[in-house]
């Protein structure tokens, strides 16, 4: 069984109200609970039935909802943590995007697109290239063979209570709270 991770260390972080964070934590805990319920269901349910088939399809939504939120919350820290310009990740960002500023502009523009979903910095392990991608749903739009480095949740539950329709302000608050040490660790020295 999966246990929800505790992200209460983020309470009081600049740019995020405690109310929206607690609501968001509860939503995340729901994904963990649903993953566990589905895993239990699959143990005893008759395989191949319409219900089994549809819940098997639903599993990816719940699983990715759980994991993407863990990456998202795990990427944040109070007062942010700037990227080490000498790190392997910073060097790779400069190589693949031309500069850190160009990467930031592209990432924020991806997150600011109309619609709900995720803006995600991924590493293509095959081509050894960093990409900013859009994932419309938890279980759709992920590129096979990539490693998630930095996800930005742009479903309304992540920002609307604090920012209304001002998604760009939320994205800036997120950007200022990134723990680049964690993101760099996810990249490693790839």
What's residue 140's pLDDT? 81
Number of domains in the chain: 2
In a domain, 82, yes or no: no
What's residue 141's pLDDT? 80
In a domain, 8, yes or no: no
Task: Give the residues of the chain that fall short of pLDDT 70.
Answer: 189-190
Same domain, 50 and 137: no
In a domain, 7, yes or no: no
Same domain, 54 and 122: no
The pTM is what?
0.95
pLDDT tens, residue by residue, 74-105: 999 999 999 999 999 999 999 999 999 999 99
Residue 172 burial (C-beta neighbours within 10 Å; 0-12, 13-18, 19+): middle
Same domain, 150 and 122: yes
Same domain, 109 and 183: yes
For the chain, percent of residues with pLDDT exceeding 70:
99
Question: How far apart (Å, rounded) are the C-alpha atoms in residues 99 and 89?
Answer: 12
Same domain, 98 and 148: yes
Structural domain range at position 173: 88-187
Helix (H, G, I), strand (E, B) or coil at 155: coil
Question: How far apart (Å, rounded) are the C-alpha atoms in residues 169 and 112?
Answer: 10
Same domain, 142 and 62: no
Same domain, 94 and 61: no
Per the CB < 8 A criterion, the answer to whether 83 and 180 are in contact is: yes
CATH code where residue 130 lies? 3.55.40.20
């Amino acid at each position: 069984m999966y246990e929800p991770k505790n992200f209460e260390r983020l309470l009081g972080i600049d740019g995020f109200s405690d109310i929206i964070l607690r609501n968001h934590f509860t939503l995340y805990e729901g994904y963990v609970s649903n993953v566990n319920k589905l895993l239990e269901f699959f143990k005893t349910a008759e395989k191949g039935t319409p219900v089994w088939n549809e819940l098997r399809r639903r599993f990816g939504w719940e699983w990715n909802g759980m994991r993407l939120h863990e990456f998202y919350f795990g990427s944040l820290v109070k007062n942010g943590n700037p990227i080490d310009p000498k790190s392997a990740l910073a060097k790779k960002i400069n190589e693949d995007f031309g500069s850190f500023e160009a990467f930031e502009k592209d990432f924020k523009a991806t997150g600011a697109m109309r619609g709900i979903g995720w803006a995600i910095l991924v590493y293509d392990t095959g081509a050894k290239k960093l990409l900013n991608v859009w994932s419309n749903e938890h279980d759709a739009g992920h590129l096979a063979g990539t490693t998630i480095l930095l996800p930005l949740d742009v479903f309304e539950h992540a920002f609307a209570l604090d920012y209304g329709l001002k998604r760009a302000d939320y994205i800036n608050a997120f950007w200022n709270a990134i723990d680049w040490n964690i993101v760099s660790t996810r990249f490693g020295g790839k």
